[in-house]
Amino acid sequence: MVHSSKILDCTIRDGGLVNNWDFSVEFVQDLYNGLSEAGVEYMEIGYKNSARLLNAKEPNPWRFLDDNFLKEIIPEKKFTKLSALVDIGRVDPKDILPREQSVLDMIRVACYVREVDKGLELVQMFHDLGYETSINIMALSSVPEHQLIEAMEMVKESPVDVVYIVDSFGSLDPAGIEHQVKKFKSLLPNKQLGIHTHNNMQLAFANTLMAYQNGVTFLDSSVYGMGRAAGNCNTELLVSYIQKSSYEMRPVLGIIEKHMVEMRQKWEWGYIIPYMISGVLNEHPRVAMAYRNSDERDQFVDFYDKVTTPEATLATASK
């Protein structure tokens, strides 16, 4: 199958949720150059949230992207376009330059379905500044149908370019993805769709393929799968799979070899049993992430017992 799909690599943005964005400038530059050589269309270089609004005490250049800093480290754009993600209530409109003055090409807005109106206000602003835009509806696997339908009525009327299906909990299977894609297509016949998956049940790549085969055009991925908890669909798999003369796997292998094997030894992401369990249970991985940071990290049976006993879940979550 050959159609106009695009890969959006979110190694820095979603991977930063693993290591608190502890990425060297050299790594980010190597990633940008490698993705450009590989023919990957977009790279999400971080969050464009406001340090002030988040009361951040420490500098964190990939979490609070600054246009001057970006121009310094990427003085010359290559093939790959750059995107940034923002969260509702955490972005300061004053921080956003018009697109022609920025290195960024696209701004994506993450939101839960209940705050889609606020998300669309941001989309409108970024659109008016000249950016490509997306709205990424998180935690889709636990959204009631009627809420989704209402939200999509608003989305349909907005200027947003891409609407993302986000399997935040890594709990959907290919059949579930196909169902969601068909629903989104019927609700939003005038919009491009995107897919963002998590690998809790080792289905991130298969789910992304299913979306692609059903006409979804924006495919999120991360090199070596680096992303929160179980991580994302692997960029190297997408690049090797999609029959498109412009993609090259070799530069992505170079990034993995030079940086990511070592990073994976230092930081943890991927198919790990507590994340698998939270995916199966259709729950946010935060309880599992806390468990992996505790002394009981490998006590899988105990973890399973805790999260399948409601009172105990609350106790662990509030630790």
Asked if residue 299 binds a copy of itself (CB under 8 A), the reply is yes
Asked if residue 256 binds a copy of itself (CB under 8 A), the reply is yes
Other residues' Cβ atoms within 10 Å of the Cβ of residue 186: 9
86 vs 209 by CB, closer to a copy of itself: 209
Q: Which of 6, 70, 14, 2 is nearest to 223 (CA)?
A: 14
Residue from the set 187, 273, 312, 317 that interacts with a copy of itself by CB under 8 A: 273
H helical segments located in the chain: 11-19, 25-38, 67-73, 116-128, 145-157, 174-187, 204-213, 235-241, 250-255, 261-266, 273-280, 286-292, 300-307, 310-317
267-288 per-residue burial string, b: 16 or more CB within 10 A, e: under 16: ebbbbbbbbbbbbebbbbbebb
CA distance 291 to 299: 9
Pairing mode of beta strands 42-47, 162-166: unpaired
CA distance 280 to 213: 24
Binding mask 117-156 for a copy of itself (x = CB under 8 A): ----------------------------------------
Residue from the set 206, 290, 312, 317 that interacts with a copy of itself by CB under 8 A: 206
Residue from the set 42, 205, 218, 269 that interacts with a copy of itself by CB under 8 A: 205
50 vs 208 by CB, closer to a copy of itself: 208
Residue from the set 27, 69, 79, 300 that interacts with a copy of itself by CB under 8 A: 300
Asked if residue 174 binds a copy of itself (CB under 8 A), the reply is yes
Residue from the set 201, 216, 219, 307 that interacts with a copy of itself by CB under 8 A: 201
Residue from the set 241, 264, 284, 312 that interacts with a copy of itself by CB under 8 A: 241
133 vs 207 by CB, closer to a copy of itself: 207
61 vs 254 by CB, closer to a copy of itself: 254
Residues 6 or more apart whose Cβ sits within 8 Å of residue 301:
none
Residue 170 Cβ, how far from a copy of itself at the closest point, in Å? 12
62 vs 291 by CB, closer to a copy of itself: 291
Residue from the set 49, 102, 134, 199 that interacts with a copy of itself by CB under 8 A: 199
77 vs 250 by CB, closer to a copy of itself: 250
Residue 209 Cβ, how far from a copy of itself at the closest point, in Å? 7
Asked if residue 176 binds a copy of itself (CB under 8 A), the reply is no
Chain centroid to CA 191: 19
Asked if residue 203 binds a copy of itself (CB under 8 A), the reply is yes
- Residue 167 gets which letter from DSSP? -
Long-range contacts of 175-178 (CB under 8 A, 24+ apart): 176/141, 177/207, 177/210, 177/211, 177/214, 178/210, 178/214
Length of the chain: 319
Q: Do the Cβ atoms of 195 and 6 come closer than 8 Å?
A: no
CA distance 305 to 281: 12
Q: Under the rule (CB under 8 A), what is the footprint of a copy of itself?
A: 173-175, 199, 201-207, 209-210, 213, 234, 236-237, 240-241, 249-250, 253-254, 256-257, 261, 271, 273, 276-277, 280, 298-301, 304-305
